[in-house]
Chains A and B, each alone.
Chain A
């Protein structure tokens, strides 16, 4: 059952992405990207990362894409003409994407067992449960303290320093954006 759901949302995501990159109108591109992000949020929930899914919608769709739309409206780009590159670039793109896909689709066949075996470097397929103990731990944590609670401990204990640095990063971004967008400095 959940497989079917997964595949539906996967197809929706791919379709959204394809249309995003092919649309002439930037507003349309933005809309399709939002749809892709919605699909992805659903997939996150399916994968057991409910918090991430919600955050995806709140932050990505609700904030970032809205800013994009603001800027598009501000610059009045709604009536853009085609801005695809020439055939040369299309050819090069096809080649590159082809190579990329060939490289990466090798990942489709991975199962946890196989991954565990590769990581443990054992001739016999190792047990994913023993190799990947951390995953099980996080699930127990989630069961005990809820989805948000499971994230809270690592975030404020192990990853405290990056957390603080990120806040500085955001401050820099704010200041930078304000300064850059002013008409007269």
Chain B
């Protein structure tokens, strides 16, 4: 039995983990040792299977996806959907990322969540999430992918609201789920269109027949792709459906690392990359994708400049970097988008887990002194370099990666995206604008990351005299995964080294069979020679400039702890309050809907119509009819006789005639 045909094991193992941990959560919540072994163990097993699949594909790269059919799911006349997994180069890459980074985060969680009473429940949900994510990336048809799509939304809700006893956390979970659902609607509508056009929902079929059955630039393909992208804006937190991601930081930090950095939010990018042929056939949609991506990248970066919660900064950073990925795939450089997806998984997970270490230490310190200060507020940190040296060093690596400094991985992926945008500008001038937005966003990214590092690790410590004694480095179970991610952030660029540094663009060649239907149509010509060097130089310069400015601006004035810090004013306040977008949504969308539900649907329809007319009305009619019929029962024999004779007459008449 080959690894490829056993790819279902990669899904089955975490599923078993979910079941076991779930059972333990219900009946033996204190069996933490067993939960750790099962929870992390199944992930490592899944990673092993993924490695096996990858190695087998390496030996013999397929030209068409290999479909591993499990069973028939929806056999309904023309609609024949099987529960099947599709193994090709792209799904192998995603498999490795999900199970690899996932395993590291599971190991990290063993240390991070050690003292939490909901330990077993946490690992159960985390395993379930991996199950759905793998179904998403392995799905061979849109409905199967949709199962995963919805499932990760569900697990996101469960994990964000993990500490649901605090209302704010439960609300954050609800917000995430509902915004995701709006996106899911888009996905569904796109599926309907695809079914109508192709008569099949199978990915391989659609990819093969799309150029024949769809008019390039036509209304149908534009509609399909735009609705698919609506789904992506929900799942991958782009404008306008991004506001759930910063609130999602209410969940445990490893959750933020796994779901909201490395895997779930990248599902949108994966979707676009997978359906590259459809997007290539709809240039308008691709431009929309790229434009929204660029705008989001810039917009979120500006908000990140003025956030004080360390996880919020990283959340907006994630939104911004996802914007980059969409800029990449919108341009037609699908491989660049996937490349950035991979490198971002490495360094963003590292950043989140690192911040997790920091928060872990801060929590311990505040717990020991019974202080109620916010352990996540950067204004309460400072100078932590002395106390958490490993965390500091590794986060420096991640910061350099995200800022796009060579030779770290982020440089190569970000540079490729910006180069592609620039190259597209030759055909469609608006892409020059997107390029410019991307460059400014890169500057701001470097700036706020430097600000984060400076406020957290450098300068004087603001945590407090008594707390300082309790600040210490995280245990090895937590620091170990950080090291691995650090290595990947450093060396990840090797995945797709460009030619001009002597590399072989390995990822590009590896993913070529998958992206070929799309790239054949978009005909993107990457810049070469002097243009290329110019762009690279500009990117590096921007990164360095941003970092330097960030450090200097932050450390110029002494920072006060959160308790004593002055409130923000002016434009800074607007940034801190996220441009009041949440308030806007509340007024424009939430309140009208709540009014509609309460007044129209509840009072009007439910109470008035269903209760009043339906239930009470039926009773009233019965009473009326009964009251009427009661008059027949007078108890007077005479009346009965009359009626009897009337009936007899009738029968007589019928018989005689």
| Chain A residues in the interface with B (C-beta under 8 A) | 85, 89, 92, 96, 99-100, 103, 106
Judge if B626 is at the interface, Cβ distance under 8 Å.
no
The listed residue (A85, A100, A106) touching B638 by CB distance below 8 A is A85
User: A99 near B642 (CB under 8 angstroms)?
Assistant: no
Spot the interface stretch: B327-335, B402-410, B537-545, B646-654: B646-654
The listed residue (B642, B652, B653) touching A92 by CB distance below 8 A is B642
User: B645 near A103 (CB under 8 angstroms)?
Assistant: no
What's the minimum C-beta distance from B580 to chain A, rounded to whole angstroms?
81
Majority secondary structure, A binding face: helix
Cβ-closest chain A residue relative to B642: A92
Judge if B588 is at the interface, Cβ distance under 8 Å.
no
User: B638 near A96 (CB under 8 angstroms)?
Assistant: no
Bound complex: CA A27 to CA B646 (Å):
30
* A and B contact pairs by CB, cutoff 8 A, 16 listed: A85-B638, A89-B638, A89-B642, A92-B642, A96-B642, A96-B645, A96-B646, A96-B649, A99-B649, A100-B649, A100-B652, A103-B649, A103-B652, A103-B653, A103-B656, A106-B656
Chain B residues within 8 Å of chain A by Cβ, number:
8
| Chain B residues in the interface with A (C-beta under 8 A) | 638, 642, 645-646, 649, 652-653, 656
Bound complex: CA A89 to CA B653 (Å):
22
In the A-B complex, the 8 residue pairs with the smallest Cβ-Cβ separation, listed nearest first, are: A96-B645, A103-B652, A99-B649, A92-B642, A103-B656, A100-B649, A85-B638, A103-B653
For A106, what are the chain B residues with a Cβ–Cβ distance below 8 Å?
656
Bound complex: CA A28 to CA B523 (Å):
120
For B638, what are the chain A residues with a Cβ–Cβ distance below 8 Å?
85, 89
Bound complex: CA A84 to CA B390 (Å):
115
For A99, what are the chain B residues with a Cβ–Cβ distance below 8 Å?
649
Bound complex: CA A103 to CA B653 (Å):
7
What's the minimum C-beta distance from B302 to chain A, rounded to whole angstroms?
93
For B656, what are the chain A residues with a Cβ–Cβ distance below 8 Å?
103, 106
Bound complex: CA A103 to CA B654 (Å):
11
What's the minimum C-beta distance from B656 to chain A, rounded to whole angstroms?
6
Bound complex: CA A106 to CA B638 (Å):
28
What's the minimum C-beta distance from B643 to chain A, rounded to whole angstroms?
11
What's the minimum C-beta distance from B272 to chain A, rounded to whole angstroms?
86
Bound complex: CA A154 to CA B646 (Å):
37
Bound complex: CA A93 to CA B564 (Å):
104
For A103, what are the chain B residues with a Cβ–Cβ distance below 8 Å?
649, 652-653, 656
Bound complex: CA A116 to CA B645 (Å):
30
Cβ-closest chain B residue relative to A100: B649
What's the minimum C-beta distance from B577 to chain A, rounded to whole angstroms?
85
Bound complex: CA A85 to CA B639 (Å):
11
Cβ-closest chain B residue relative to A92: B642
Bound complex: CA A171 to CA B652 (Å):
33
Cβ-closest chain B residue relative to A104: B652
Bound complex: CA A92 to CA B641 (Å):
12
What's the minimum C-beta distance from B649 to chain A, rounded to whole angstroms?
6
Known: A92-B642, A100-B652, A106-B656. 7 other contacts (CB 8 A): A89-B638, A96-B645, A96-B646, A103-B649, A103-B652, A103-B653, A103-B656
For B652, what are the chain A residues with a Cβ–Cβ distance below 8 Å?
100, 103
What's the minimum C-beta distance from A86 to chain B, rounded to whole angstroms?
10
For B653, what are the chain A residues with a Cβ–Cβ distance below 8 Å?
103
Bound complex: CA A111 to CA B646 (Å):
29
Bound complex: CA A89 to CA B656 (Å):
27
What's the minimum C-beta distance from A97 to chain B, rounded to whole angstroms?
9
For B642, what are the chain A residues with a Cβ–Cβ distance below 8 Å?
89, 92, 96
